[in-house]
Amino acid sequence: MSAENFFDNLKNDLSFSGNREKEATCLKRYNKRGDGRLDQDEFHEMCLDLFVDDGKSFPLTETESRRIFEQLDDNQDNYIDRDEFHILWRYWLPMILQPKAALIAVDVQNDFIDGSLAVAQAEEIVPVINRILDDEGMFEQVIYTYDWHPENHVSFHNNVCLRNIHHTSKVQQKDACVFDTVVFDGHVPMEQTLWPAHCVQHSHGAKLHADLKITKDHVDIYKGVCDHVDSYSAFFDNQRLSQTELAVALCDRRITDVYVCGLAYDVCVRHTAIDAASLGFRPFVIEDACRGLTTESCDKARREMEEAGCIMVSSTQVKSMAEANTRVPKMALQAAENVALARRKAKVKLASMNSDHGDKPLTNGFVVENSSSLDM
Ligand SMILES: [Zn+2]
């Protein structure tokens, strides 16, 4: 059996993570020195077998494997010992070999395609998304998001006179043009780009494109529903004052990976993907299933998304990734960070149980919630 096949075989064994015999076999296989633990070189060799691009090894650098190693080496003694290997086997490997994927189709709505805020060539993404959705069973959950504004929404240019402008705003109400950015007054001054009125609740412009394939058992997420704050991300409003049901819907299905596509690449896709990363999901952005406003801001958005840990893919790569035939080191690092976070959370919980003055539980949102699906 070749080394690659070792993990490919595990991939199809849904109960592998509970199999202590296979766990011991795997540790022994890579522990060439025979001391019952992996050093960084041995771990690197294991990673070379684990991370493949449809059969071929990824060109993995030692720095990349070391960063993963450091997250999994809980006691920082430069070895993955037996206990740490058990956590790796039980929680980290399943995320890599048996990911649970969701597709998030962001704002594929008439107004963004041929309506008041049309994005160039936006219609071209509809057949691309439909082809991705043809493959039944690739996704545990399919989500459609809607920009869903009341008529008096803060982002509409024609509503600029409804609210007070903060004294720091460079643009005043009387001079404000569409696409200008103003600063509105409030508890905290709030920057806002002024868009043409779009996606008004229940209007034709707010409907999904008629040709978009709608799957059974999908979830609809509505954003930008409050008049006083805009929402580019499908998770949070722009001030992070409130959140949608999206994170909960993903956690309910124990989603690990989200594939983001839709409109517009440099606005709502960008913010949704970056928030997904911040919440501990592993975001893939399907570039040919997105369109953006300008080349310049799309380039900037791509850099920001990549820095946040997002992986850019094309629609033809999705199947291989969602089925874990292509396994990317960058995603494994995020999985390792989630494992480390869940372990820290478990320790805090233990400490607070052992002491009346225990540390406060971590409360940084859904990172913890999502990691807690690891059941440590
Ligand atoms: Zn909007």
Give the model's confidence band at 334: pLDDT under 50 very low, under 70 low, under 90 confident, else very high. Answer: confident
Listed ranges 131-140, 181-190, 216-225; the one with the highest mean pLDDT: 216-225
Q: How far is the CA of 134 from the centre of ligand 1 (A)?
A: 29
Rounded to an integer, what distance in angstroms lies between the CA atom of residue 124 and that of residue 122? 5
Selected catalytic residue, list 8, 73, 107, 230: 107
Residues spanned by CATH 1.10.238 within the chain? Answer: 3-98+330-372
Indicate the CATH number for domain 3-98+330-372.
Answer: 1.10.238
Residues of the chain with CATH 3.40.50.850: 101-156+195-322
Position 340 confidence tier, pLDDT thresholds 50, 70, 90? confident
Q: Which of 30-44, 341-355, 357-371 has the lowest mean pLDDT?
A: 357-371
Lowest mean pLDDT among 134-138, 198-202, 270-274: 134-138
- 268 has catalytic annotation: yes
| Residue 223 annotated in active site | yes
How close is the Cα of 196 to the center of ligand 1, in Å? 9
Buried/exposed 221-239: b ≥16 CB within 10 Å, e otherwise? bbbbbebbbbbbbbbbbbe
Candidate list 26, 73, 199, 223, residue with the active-site label: 223
What residue type is assigned to position 224 of the chain? Answer: G
Average pLDDT, the chain: 89
pLDDT for residue 181 is more than 80? yes
Give 105's contacts (C-beta < 8 A, 6+ positions apart): 129, 142, 143, 144, 145, 212, 261, 262
CA 40 to CA 32: how far, in whole Å?
12
Q: How far is CA 171 from the centre of its chain?
A: 35
Residue pLDDT, tens place only, 252-282: 999 999 999 999 999 999 999 999 998 889 9
pLDDT for 14 equals: 86
CA–centroid distance, 85 to ligand 1, in Å, is: 47
251 is catalytic: no
pLDDT in the model for residue 59: 80
**For 19-48, what is the mean pLDDT?**
95
pLDDT computed for residue 161 by the predictor: 92
User: What would the mean pLDDT of 210-217 be, rounded to a whole number?
Assistant: 95
What is the spatial distance between Cα 159 and Cα 277, in angstroms, rounded to a whole number? 33
Half-sphere exposure of 371 (CA within 13 A, CB side): 25
Average pLDDT over residues 186-205: 94
3-state secondary structure (DSSP) of residue 204? helix
Name residue 27's amino acid. L
> Which of 26, 47, 261, 268 does the annotation list as catalytic?
268
Ligand 1 midpoint to CA 263 (Å): 11
Domain 101-156+195-322 has CATH 3.30.413.10: no
* % of the chain beyond a pLDDT of 70: 91
Ligand 1 midpoint to CA 155 (Å): 7
Q: Bridge-partner residues for 285, per DSSP? A: 260, 312
pLDDT in tens, 52-101: 887 787 888 889 899 999 999 999 999 999 999 999 999 899 999 999 99
**pLDDT at position 337, please?**
85
The count of other CB atoms within 10 Å of the CB of residue 104 is 29
Please check the confidence at residue 115 and state whether its pLDDT lies above 90: yes
Is pLDDT of 31 > 90? yes
Taking CA atoms, 117 is separated from 14, 68, 108, 291, 347, in Å, by 46, 43, 12, 13, 49
How many angstroms is it from 115 CA to the middle of ligand 1?
A: 13
d(CA 294, ligand 1 centre) in Å: 17
pLDDT at res. 5: 65
